[in-house]
Amino acid sequence: MLNRNLVSIGSKSFEDLKKVNEYEAEYWSAREIQPLLGYTQWRRFEDAVKRAITSCEQSGNEALHHFAGAGKPIKGGKGAVQTVNDYHLSRFACYLIAQNGDPRKPEIANAQKYFAIQARRQEISDAITADIERLELRKQTAEEFKALSGAARDAGVQDRMFGIFHDAGYKGMYGGLGRDAIKKHKRIPEKENLMDRMDTTELAANQFRMTQTRDKLARERVKDQQSAIRTHEDVGKEVRNAIKRIGGTLPEHLSPAEHIKLVEKRVKNVPLKLKLEEKDAKGLIGHSEEE
């Protein structure tokens, strides 16, 4: 199951960064959660905040109740203090920022899973929670597959060789089994997408393989087709060895999961409520009767 907290900044987690304002309402500083969500530049993070504000308004909620402009003092050289733009954010605002962030960032991907579960936690069963986690991860692996294909093309892999390139990663990670051999081994119908039958653990391992391959191709500036294919297989082997070292189940031994389309259909019967209940809609003004 998913870790119930976001990736930490040092010893500080998302929940650790929570503050309480004069209305006794919880809030977060945009400047403080910026690095937690994988952004190094305030300008790019503020773009995500602005998209979230628009999303808040479009969902029928009062943006000012969830996004409050503020100033944050920053210490500079020789003890100088400069005040920079900041936002005070409700929990709902943080959720919307994650949903409007760059899904290629691992931190954003993790936050989307975290908030998708938190937003429904009180109205769904543990089984549906697991379904949501798997759906979110499946979406992310699809995005990562596209990103890896782009990185492979940049590394010199020709379009007609994409099948061999992607199969190399599977072979490294699945002990020599390519995509079709894995499906045959697991008795998955030939026409089905392999990743649609992976459980959360298997999806996460494959997402990690693809992310690490993409980063390695860029870091080592690979520009040769055979080198790119070999790199993908080598990363797959490293992921496999890591699973062995920690005593995990090797991916070819994991049973096929229920088809993702059936999971999606089940989750759709429990719609996410973006129109908040009255107490949550007040956001930053908390339970105060003042307007």
Q: Please tell me the distance from the alpha carbon of residue 44 to that of residue 34, in angstroms, as a whole number.
A: 10
Q: Given this model, what pLDDT does residue 10 score?
A: 46
Mean pLDDT by 10 residues, the chain (291 residues): 44 81 89 90 91 89 86 56 79 88 83 70 63 91 95 95 97 97 96 96 96 96 96 97 96 96 85 57 60 42
Judged by DSSP in three states, 40 sits in coil
175 by Cβ neighbours in 10 Å (0-12 / 13-18 / 19+) ranks as middle
Q: Given this model, what pLDDT does residue 61 score?
A: 87
List the strands of the sheet with 67-75, edge to edge: 19-20, 26-29, 81-89, 67-75
> Could you tell me the CA-to-CA distances from 89 to 12, 110, 267, 280 in Å, in that order?
17, 19, 28, 13
Q: Please tell me the distance from the alpha carbon of residue 52 to that of residue 101, in angstroms, as a whole number.
A: 9
Give me the amino acid identity at 230. Answer: R
- Element at 93 (helix H, strand E): helix 91-99
Q: Given this model, what pLDDT does residue 218 score?
A: 95
Sequence-distant (≥ 6) Cβ neighbours of residue 48 within 8 angstroms: 37, 39, 97, 100, 101, 102
Give pTM, 2 decimals: 0.57
The owner of tokens 């954010």 is 89
Domain boundaries, the chain: 15-102+273-285, 127-268
Q: Given this model, what pLDDT does residue 21 score?
A: 87
